[in-house]
């Protein structure tokens, strides 16, 4: 598989998983704590969560590279950081 094919496959998978997932927030109040609400999760959510969990190391590499150098993908890394943080800070 060429790099372009791998990128396209990853895009298609993430878009499909995103479409199958249940929109957040997935929390409920239990006593005085806010906890994940498993009852709110749909059947496509487990695959989405597992796939995104696998991307953590790659996301960290992108963020560290942008932080430690003036990387050409700095804008994309900043968008990734904003997404992780839930918006612009």
For the segment 29-68, what is each residue's pLDDT rounded down to a tens digit? 777 877 766 666 777 888 888 888 888 888 888 888 888 7
Structural domain harbouring 74? 3-85
pLDDT: is 76 or 38 the higher one? 76
- pTM beyond 0.85: no
Are 35 and 27 a contacting pair, CB within 8 Å?
yes
Among 84, 23, 76, 85, which Cα is nearest to 48's?
23
Render 57-68 in DSSP notation, one character per residue.
Answer: HHHHHHHHHHHH
Provide the domain count of the chain: 1
């Amino acid at each position: 598989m060429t790099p372009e094919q791998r990128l396209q496959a990853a895009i298609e998978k993430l878009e499909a998983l995103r479409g199958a997932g249940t929109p957040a927030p997935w929390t409920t109040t239990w006593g005085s704590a806010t906890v994940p609400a498993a009852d709110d999760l749909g059947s496509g959510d487990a695959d989405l969560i597992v796939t995104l969990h696998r991307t953590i190391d790659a996301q960290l590499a992108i963020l560290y590279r942008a932080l430690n150098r003036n990387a050409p993908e700095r804008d994309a890394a900043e968008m990734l950081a904003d997404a992780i943080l839930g918006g612009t800070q």
